[in-house]
Amino acid sequence: MRVKARVGPKGQVVIPKELRDEFKLSPGDEVTFDANEHTILIYPRIDPKKFVDEFLSIVKNKKKPPAKIDWDELYYSQFE
């Protein structure tokens, strides 16, 4: 998804509502900025409790775990 926003006079950018909804961001949530020469990425902070709860739900529901756990896939699946 590509969404435009404008930098305000104080250097602030508002995260568009559709992205806040999709990534379940609320006021006070932390994000991390990662930048290189041409790109700025914004990552929502991982809530450890939510991450562990999601992981345990796999075990509790007796889903067959993958042979190798893809931690990135497990993390990003919480936003689907």
At residue 80, does pLDDT exceed 60? no
1-45 CATH: 2.10.260.10
Structure token digits, residue 26:
């609320």
What are the pLDDT digits (tens) for 50-69? Answer: 778 777 887 776 666 666 76
Q: What percent of the chain has pLDDT over 90?
A: 25
Residues 27 and 20: their CA atoms lie apart, in Å, by 10
pTM for this prediction: 0.54
Better-scored residue on pLDDT, 32 or 59? 32
Residues of the chain with CATH 2.10.260.10: 1-45
Residues in the chain: 80
| Beta bridge pairs of residue 34 | 41
Residues 3 and 21: their CA atoms lie apart, in Å, by 13
The whole-chain average pLDDT of the chain stands at: 82
